[in-house]
Amino acid sequence: EDQVTQSPEALRLQEGESSSLNCSYTVSGLRGLFWYRQDPGKGPEFLFTLYSAGEEKEKERLKATLTKKESFLHITAPKPEDSATYLCAVQVGGAQKLVFGQGTRLTINP
């Protein structure tokens, strides 16, 4: 069975304190790994798609990396507005659907 596990479940940082969120996966035939940001009461906002091990993508203070077993979302010098739940999802084999992890609730204190 395809599984996606995110850690930590929740993370509190001070403004400017860099850290990383982890997404580990056990799937048969990864087609793509997706990162989304979700604010309370809203739908997920697309951040990145990674397709192969070694791939990296950046957007402002966020950088996503991918290995054969896991993905990291690195956040550099975060600001309070980066507070949100970050969701990782995988798309497997010939399927179009996404399998989501439980998410990491990130809080950045000013």
Chain residues in the site for other proteins (CB under 8 A): 31-32, 34, 36, 41-46, 49, 51, 87, 96-103
Tokens of 94: 């010939």
Which CB, 17 or 45, lies closer to other proteins?
45
How far, rounded to the nearest angstrom, does the alpha carbon of residue 26 sit from its chain's CA centroid? 15
CB 37 within 8 A of CB 45: yes
Shortest distance in whole angstroms from residue 79 CB to other proteins: 21
Which CB, 18 or 26, lies closer to other proteins?
26
Which CB, 18 or 102, lies closer to other proteins?
102
Dist CA 66 CA 49 (whole Å): 10
